[in-house]
Amino acid sequence: MIRSAVLVVAHASGTSRITGDGYLRLPTGLRRRSQLVTGDRVVLAADPMARRLLVYPPAALDALLDIRSDDNGGVRP
């Protein structure tokens, strides 16, 4: 399970939104729990029929990929 991933569900009174400039705005508490800081790039996965958006911050991607450096300075999965 990826604990720092964020699930955003469309709701009329929701506080998360995408701005006119294309930025996703999330509440401060949610950003902190997800280890997100302003300017972080994220991966988004949308399910338009269910009106859901999954947000994968850098910490979630690290956990998902679990990349480690080997002794030769390379990267291995």
Greatest Cα pair distance, the chain, in angstroms, is: 52
What structural domains does the chain harbor?
6-70 (2.10.260.10)
Structure tokens at 72: 């030769």
Amino acid at 71: D
Output DSSP code: residue 27.
-
Its pTM stands at 0.66
Structure tokens at 7: 């699930």
Please give the average per-residue pLDDT across 46-56, as a whole number.
91
Q: What count of other Cβ atoms lies within 10 Å of the Cβ of residue 16?
A: 16
Please give the average per-residue pLDDT across 33-56, as a whole number.
88
Please give the average per-residue pLDDT across 24-51, as a whole number.
87
CA dihedral over 27, 51, 42, 25, signed as positive or negative: negative
